Structure 1
Amino acid sequence: MKRFLIPLLLLAAPQAAFAEQFRCSGAAVSPIPAKAATNHDHGRYAPSDVSSLSKSFTAFDAVFDDADDDDGDGEPDLRLNPEYVIYEMFGVSPDASGEYAEPDISIRRPSKWYASPELVPLVEPIPDVTNKRLDDSYSGIGTIWNRGHLAMADHAQRIDGPASCNTHNFWNGSPQAAALNQGPWLHLENYSAAAANKFRSIWIVTGPIFDPATPKLTIGDADELKVEIPDAFFKILISEGPSGIETLAFIFEQPNELGEDGTPVPSRAWVRCSSAKREGHVYNHGPNLVPISEIERRTGLRLFHGHPERDAIVSAEADALWAIEERYWDPGPGVCGGQRSHPR
C-alpha cells in the first residue's frame, strides 16, 4: 500500500487512564466545559471549504451544516446534521500481560442528549415548530433510527469520562439505522480503536452523506424539528508512520424509504453485534472501501488541501484493510460480535 511522505510529529505513547464510574449530568445543557486541554491535534487533517458553524470539544472537532443551499434550488436548507467530525485518537498502552484493554472508565450516559446553545440561532427562525429541542425529534423512533455518534463515546473515554459525556450532543450525531449503528459501524469503530493501539494514534474523519437525487426523508413530528436522514455515512482513517501517511476510506450506504405507515424506515438490513456470533456472521468492510475522492464528490468536502501529494492521496483506493493483529484489540466483552479481527 503506497505511503505519501509528510512531515511527522513525534508522538509519545499515551498511558491508559483509569477512573471510577462517571455519571453524566442530566441537565439540558452539559455543565462540563466543552474543551479541556489535551495533547491531541484533532484538526490536523480537517477538510476545507465547509460551513461556518464549528466547535471544538475535548474529544473531537465538529462542523455543523448551516442554512446554505444544499440542493441547488436557490433556497436555504437545514439538514440539522453535522457536516463532519474529526478527531485524533491515541492508542492505549499494553498492560502487564501485553493486552490492550480499554481504560477502566464507565460512564452513565445522559438519558437525553445535550442541547447546544450555539445552534439556537440556526433553528429559532424555523416556522411552525413549537418544540425546538433536537433530542425530541428522535423520541419514539429510536428503535429504528439511533442518535448515531460520529465520534464514538468509547473512543472519547480514552481521554476521560467528562470528554465521553460531551459526545452526547448533536454536533456529533445523525439519524443512523439502529442495526447499522449496532452492527458493522460498531465493528469498524472497534477496528479503529485497535488500529490506534498498533500505530500509537490515528485520525478519524467521519460524517453523513446526502444524495440530492434521492427523496428527502426526515424524522421529527409535526411540531418538532425535521432532521434529515442521511443516505450514507463515510469514515476516513489516517495513520502516520516513519515513511509517511496511509489512509483507509469507507462509505456505508443507508438507503431509506417511507414505510406502510408513512414513517421513514431503512430499506436494507444489517446484522447486529448482539446476534453476529450466533448467526456465524463475519464483518467484512472491504466492500465499503472507496477512494477519498468519492467521499469528496458526494459531500463537497475537500481533504488534504494544500498537500503537495493531495491528488495521489485522494485518488488512491486501498485494496484491503490494514492488518491489525488480535493482540491489539480490546480483550473485553465490548468488541462487536466478539470478532477481534478482519478478513484480509
Structure 2
Amino acid sequence: MKKTLSSLLLIASALFSGPLLAANCVYGCPTGKSGQVIERSIYTLQNNASTKFADWAAYHVTASTIDGPTRTRTWKADPSIAASATLEPADYTDANAVLGTDRGHQVPLASFSNTSDWAMTNYLSNITPQASNLNQGPWVDLESAVRTVARSGQDVYVVTGPLYEWYFGTLPQADEAHTIPSGYFKVVITDVNGWVEASAFIMEQDMARSANFCATEVTVNEVESRTGLNIMPTLPSYKESAVEGQTGGLSAALGCK
C-alpha cells in the first residue's frame, strides 16, 4: 500500500526527532510540546489529548486560497484522531447559552474558502470554545487583516493556538474531560526572498468585541515564553533577534500603523 507524502513526512519527523518541515510551516513547525501531529493540505496542527484542543495550528494563506464562495459550517469530529483524544459536536451543546462562546476556528474557514479542502477547517480538532465577543470582534478582525495582506499578493504564514493561564469555564454538556483556553496567540509571518517579518498577538477570552487587535501585539519571544513553544525552530539564529525580539514587523501591512 502506498504511503502518502504527509505520512512519510510525519514518519521522518518521528525518526529524526527534529522540527517537522511542512509546506504549511515556514522555518519548521513549532516544537516544544508533544502530541499527535495532523498534516493536511491547508493546515498542520498538533492535537493535545489532555485539553482536547490543538496546541498549535499552522497555515499558509495566499491570494488563491481566499475569496471563494460562501461555505457552510458542518461540525465533525476529526476522523484522524481517536475519540478519546478530541471532542465531538454534541459536546458543544448549550455552550453559547451558558458560556457565551462560539465554535471558534483556529485555522479560519474564510482563509481557505477557495480551496477544495475547506471543509477540513470544520473538524473539531481545529475548533475551541471561543468567547463570542472575541471571536466576532478583534480575532476575526486580525484574520481579515491577514487576508488583506494575502490579497495584495503576499504569501502569509500563520501559527496560532491557545493559552491556559486562568480558568475560563467548562462545556456544560461535554462527556469527557477538557480544558478551555483562557486566551489565544497568533503569529503572522512573511518571507520574501529570505527577508522575514513577523507580528505576534495575544488576546484574552474576556476581550471586548470593540477592542482593537493592534493593541494586543507582543513579541514572538513573549508568545514562546508563555506557551513553551518554539514558533520557528529552523529560523537562522542571526535573524532571531530582529524577527522574534521586536514588535512591529508587519504592523503596517496589517493596518496597525
Same fold (TM over 0.5): yes
Structure 1 residues 235 and 308, CA gap change in structure 2 (3 angstroms): same
How far the C-alpha of 1:172 sits from its partner, in A, is 0.7
Are the equivalent residues in 1 in contact too, given 2:35–2:46 (CA < 8 A)? Answer: yes
CA distance in 2, matches of 1:182, 1:151: 15
Q: Secondary structure at the match of 2:190?
A: strand
Identity %: 22
Structure 2 unaligned segments of length 5 or more: list them: 1-5, 7-21
TM-score for the superposition, normalised by structure 2: 0.80
CA distance in 1, matches of 2:32, 2:133: 33
Question: Equivalent of 1:309, from 238, 245, 252?
Answer: 238
CA distance in 2, matches of 1:246, 1:215: 33
> Residue 18 of structure 2 aligns with which residue?
none
Matched, 1:176 2:142: no
> Residue 270 of structure 1 aligns with which residue?
209
CA distance in 1, matches of 2:232, 2:194: 17
CA distance in 2, matches of 1:182, 1:140: 18
User: CA-to-partner distance for each residue in 1:49-100, whole Å, 9 max, x for gaps?
Assistant: 322311112211110113xxxxxxxxxxx2111101001111249xxxxxxx
User: CA-to-partner distance for each residue in 1:270-325, whole Å, 9 max, x for gaps?
Assistant: 23xxxxxxxxxxx632211100111111111112224223541221222771236x
> Residue 82 of structure 2 aligns with which residue?
120
Point out the structure with max Rg over C-alpha: 1
CA distance in 1, matches of 2:195, 2:231: 16
Q: Which amino acid aligns with 2:89?
A: D
> Residue 181 of structure 2 aligns with which residue?
230
Are the equivalent residues in 2 in contact too, given 1:289–1:317 (CA < 8 A)? Answer: yes
Q: Secondary structure at the match of 1:207?
A: strand
Structure 1 residues 185 and 215, CA gap change in structure 2 (3 angstroms): closer
Higher helix proportion, which one? 2
Q: How many residues align?
A: 233
Q: Which amino acid aligns with 1:303?
A: I
CA distance in 2, matches of 1:216, 1:188: 22
Structure 1 unaligned segments of length 5 or more: list them: 1-34, 67-77, 94-101, 124-131, 256-267, 272-282, 325-341
CA distance in 2, matches of 1:243, 1:119: 36
Q: Which amino acid aligns with 1:304?
A: M
TM-score for the superposition, normalised by structure 1: 0.61
Question: Equivalent of 1:134, from 70, 88, 93?
Answer: 88
Q: Which moved more, 1:138-147 or 1:169-178?
A: 138-147
Question: Equivalent of 2:37, from 46, 51, 54?
Answer: 54
Are the equivalent residues in 2 in contact too, given 1:86–1:205 (CA < 8 A)? Answer: yes
Runs (4+) of structure 1 exceeding 4 A deviation are none
> Residue 74 of structure 1 aligns with which residue?
none
Q: Secondary structure at the match of 2:107?
A: coil
Q: Which amino acid aligns with 1:103?
A: D
> Residue 260 of structure 1 aligns with which residue?
none
Are the equivalent residues in 2 in contact too, given 1:134–1:225 (CA < 8 A)? Answer: no
Matched, 1:207 2:158: no
User: CA-to-partner distance for each residue in 1:89-133, whole Å, 9 max, x for gaps?
Assistant: 11249xxxxxxxx534222331xx11124432644xxxxxxxx85
